[in-house]
Amino acid sequence: MATEHGRRAAVLGSPIAHSLSPVLHRAAYGELGLAEWTYDLFDVDEAALPGFLKGLGPDWAGLSLTMPLKRAVIPLLDEISETAASVEAVNTVVFTEDGRRAGDNTDIPGMVAALRERGIEQVESAAILGAGATASSALAALARICAGEVVVYVRSQARAAEMRQWGERLDVQVRTEDWADAERALSAPLVIATTPAGATDALSAAVPERPATLFDVLYDPWPTALAARWSMYGGAVVSGLDLLVHQAVLQVEQMTGHASAPLAAMREAGEHALAARQD
């Protein structure tokens, strides 16, 4: 339990053992002098979530959520931000002083911040590889920085229809294409790969000689075959660790009330943890 001045936070999901969130948040607490704060992980599925939330005491500051809880948590909250509502996904819960449960989505501004860090403020067009939950967050991020069309490469007509619906909802001009033509995506000014590990490996041979920017949301193992070839050809690469760190920075700020979380220290901690896994 927390001490008089300590607070508690954690990441929930199922499976959850692989999560880097404890490493990132604990690094932030160390830099911010929050020695009595704790951050843990709990394997919680959709069925167990209501009971878990009900059992939390007043020493809890907030929660990070991963799959499959980002949508399941919404009916259990008192309020959610416009950002979270735009994609019907919450990855951050903050417990307010008056006892309310407030939900937010830091993945979307985290994507924007990760791109901005690499000098990507705006693009004329973009391509998304994949059409899962992360793809809708990518579309929401592109709504903030993309002036023109977003082409989404998908494996099924059902997914294509979903992505077009998300485009209408987010006010993004979306065109869908079949995954068989995904090599065409690689010539876009910004390519966001949202697919599971291995799904884009075959595309690495098609990377153009002068690629622009690739945002690959994976981080373990890293680099992916696509990211490695992209870097070899001199293209800019934003990794899943960049996204994880930037969204965690926003979570730490919301949960602790500190105006500026230590980005560099959190990234370094994440890099060390990933290197240890690969040894």
* Structural tokens at position 144: 């903030």
Cβ-contact 2, 58 below 8 angstroms: no
Cβ-contact 252, 258 below 8 angstroms: yes
Token pair 């082409």 is found at 151
Alpha helices (H) in the chain, listed in sequence order: 21-32, 49-54, 82-87, 107-117, 133-145, 157-170, 225-232, 240-256, 263-278
Q: Known catalytic residues?
A: 70
Q: How far apart are CA 87 and CA 64, in angstroms?
A: 17
Q: How far apart are CA 125 and CA 130, in angstroms?
A: 17
Q: How far apart are CA 34 and CA 3, in angstroms?
A: 12
Q: How many angstroms separate the first and last alpha carbons of the chain?
A: 34
Cβ-contact 248, 222 below 8 angstroms: no
Cβ-contact 16, 41 below 8 angstroms: yes
Nearest to 162 by CA among 133, 197, 129: 133
Q: How far apart are CA 69 and CA 90, in angstroms?
A: 8
Give 146's strand partners. 123
